[in-house]
Copies of this chain bind each other. A is one copy, B any other.
């Protein structure tokens, strides 16, 4: 059995999508147990299916660490603490990223050998069915070389466990591919990672989504800028494509013929399905769903939590940090 604690209230869309997603997830999986945290009245429809832990407040999206720690009645605070008290495998929230990350770090505690937990996200690549794992995409703003090395080990172990690949290709993001390239930070991390079996060297931004890499290591600042830049570019191109199709009668007709194939394409680029980001380096599986997660997106996040727990990613990360 996989046991997941879910903050039902934290997202922008309240409990409607989370109740629907949890209900469907329980229908689809018979080896999962959900602990739902939130307003008892609102969660009434789930009463027969899950254990409900009542909470009375919701941490605001822009929430300081102090605020998050102080409001012990918030759904996110109760969800994170329940992960320990209920001895669950995973915790999931669509609430404030800052609050969730700091609560997970402070309450679930960091794995031995981890200085800074990292946010992992998974991206589709040019190679059909292949995903690339990026970390850190924003848990930290400043990192040192030791932390980048830890990210490499964490990412490697996560990929091995989650995608069942013994030797994932691990790269370090850089402004060029030759050994002499990089800023002071990446040069130092490179020299520490060199010689490690699965470390394949530097990777440029243009090659992150080609499918050549399984894991790409970023400092949290650069990773965040990269991730959001990719999102912005995809959105802009999507908008341009839409305008192109709307621009003439002929192109509108064209759209009617091509829409089925185009839908497949937009589905591939639909990051909602990928299911948010994971905080790795803490003692439980901790999944941060998108703040504006809808049913589909929240279901995707439950899937990530479930698979990450089932594949024992936390245990594998612990082992790999010793090597």
> Which residues of chain A have a CB within 8 Å of any CB of chain B?
62, 125-126, 138, 141-142, 173-175, 178, 181-184, 186, 204-210, 218, 220-222, 224-241, 243-245, 247-248, 250-251, 253-262, 264-265, 268-269
Tell me whether A254 and B258 are in contact (CB under 8 A).
yes
Chain B residues in 8 Å Cβ range of A184:
141-142
- Among B210, B221, B245, B269, which residue has its beta carbon within 8 angstroms of that of A222? B221
- Among B141, B173, B182, which residue has its beta carbon within 8 angstroms of that of A182? B141
Each complex incorporates copies of this chain amounting to: 2
Secondary structure of the A side of the interface? helix
With A175-B220, A183-B221, A233-B237 already in contact, 11 other A-B pairs whose C-beta atoms are closer than 8 Å: A126-B236, A141-B175, A205-B225, A205-B230, A225-B226, A226-B226, A229-B229, A241-B265, A244-B264, A248-B261, A254-B257
Tell me whether A265 and B240 are in contact (CB under 8 A).
yes
Central interface residue in A228, A229, A269, by most chain B CB within 10 Å: A229
Chain B residues in 8 Å Cβ range of A227:
205
Residue of B nearest to A141 (CB): B183
Residue of B nearest to A239 (CB): B126
In Å, the complex CA distance between A248 and B257 comes to 9
Tell me whether B232 and A209 are in contact (CB under 8 A).
yes
Tell me whether A232 and B210 are in contact (CB under 8 A).
yes
In Å, the complex CA distance between A141 and B259 comes to 44
Residue of B nearest to A264 (CB): B244
Tell me whether B175 and A224 are in contact (CB under 8 A).
yes
In Å, the complex CA distance between A239 and B125 comes to 11
Return A203 CB to nearest CB of chain B, in Å: 10
Tell me whether B244 and A62 are in contact (CB under 8 A).
no
Residue of B nearest to A237 (CB): B237
Tell me whether B229 and A245 are in contact (CB under 8 A).
no
Tell me whether A261 and B265 are in contact (CB under 8 A).
no
Tell me whether B240 and A250 are in contact (CB under 8 A).
no
Tell me whether B240 and A241 are in contact (CB under 8 A).
no
